[in-house]
Amino acid sequence: MNDCSRLIIPVINEVFGEHYTGKEAVVFAPNEHYLNQQDGKETERVTDSSFKIMGKEPKKYHLECQSSPDHSMLIRFFEYDTQIALDEGEIEEGILTVTFPHSAVLFLRHNAETPERLKTRMVTPGGSLTYEIPVMKSQNYTVEEIFEKKLWFLLPFYIFTHEKRLEEYEQKEELLGQLKEEYEEIRGRLEELLVRNEIDEYTKCTIIDMANKVVEHLAKRYENVKEGVKSVMGGKILEYEAKTIRNEGRREGRKAGIHEGRLEMLMELVDTGLLSLSEAARQARLTEEAFEIRMREHRV
């Protein structure tokens, strides 16, 4: 997601019916969020991915990837989405306005009971509101559809389509050969995209490396399958020093960003009288004196 962020744009087009060109900037938000519990403690939650696509009208998105259907998804989505909305909440004339992200879930497995959309109903004193979270099912997409719709983000998960037949492939060389042919097609079509400059070498190698990793874990009990697919796909991205330094910098920057954004929100709540100084300082994990100093610096 972070190294090849443009791969997510066609996924958003597919799920939400958008018409992004693929050239839009993708701006990631901090994925760490702190949820206030009833006992006063805070719990850190990490979303799979929260980001904005900077189209004509910038939009916030929240995407989760789930290996199997899970009823707790709805609760986690509500926790994440409310916190994402609160992170950029605005207070004006005593009114707090929060904007929920466009959320979706990618299921790597599904069954007949897996819904097309998840639904959440909020009941408030002013009335009720129901909003939907669309579901994307990776096993529904053929290799042809993935390349036709530019859903290259799904390629590493393609082995899930064959999960129920892995034992057959392990035992029957002919069937394993058919699986390898599919992966040869995937590899060949990635090479074609590279020649046409639709992807770069780094993106191609990243997709291949991630596909190998998923196969290695999903087919860990099937040595012939694992080695067969990897022999066809090849490719390995080495974790080099510059990339390590860059990723460390990103992580530190995100932590700093969420901390500063949280402080600004608390300061606004204090300024508008919606939160006491002592409570704001407690939530910021600062003394009241230190919080007041930060408020003065912020105003300057």
Which residues 6+ apart lie within 8 Å of 74 measured at CB? Answer: 118, 119, 120, 133
Place of tokens 């069937």: 175
pLDDT of amino acid 241 = 44
Q: Which residue range forms the structural domain that includes residue 286? A: 260-300
pLDDT of amino acid 251 = 58
Q: Does residue 233 lie within any of the structural domains?
A: yes
Place of tokens 């997601």: 1
Q: Does residue 147 lie within any of the structural domains?
A: no
pLDDT of amino acid 263 = 76
Boundary residue ending a domain (249, 270, 291): 249
The DSSP output letter for 154 is: G
pTM: 0.71
Which amino acid would we find at residue 115? P
Q: Does residue 145 lie within any of the structural domains?
A: no
108 and 177 in a single domain? The answer is: no
Assigned token pair, 194: 């590279």
Number of domains in the chain: 3
Q: Does residue 146 lie within any of the structural domains?
A: no
Which residues 6+ apart lie within 8 Å of 186 measured at CB? Answer: 143, 155, 158, 211, 233
- Average pLDDT score over the chain: 84
Boundary residue ending a domain (140, 175, 199): 140
**Gyration radius of the chain's alpha carbons:** 23
Calpha distance 221→163 (Å, rounded): 12
Q: Give me the residues of the chain with pLDDT under 50, please.
A: 33, 37-38, 237-242
Tell me which residue of 127, 144, 245 sits closest to 189, measured CA to CA: 144
pLDDT of amino acid 112 = 87
pLDDT of amino acid 242 = 42
pLDDT of amino acid 235 = 52
pLDDT of amino acid 238 = 46
214 and 284 in a single domain? The answer is: no
pLDDT of amino acid 295 = 79
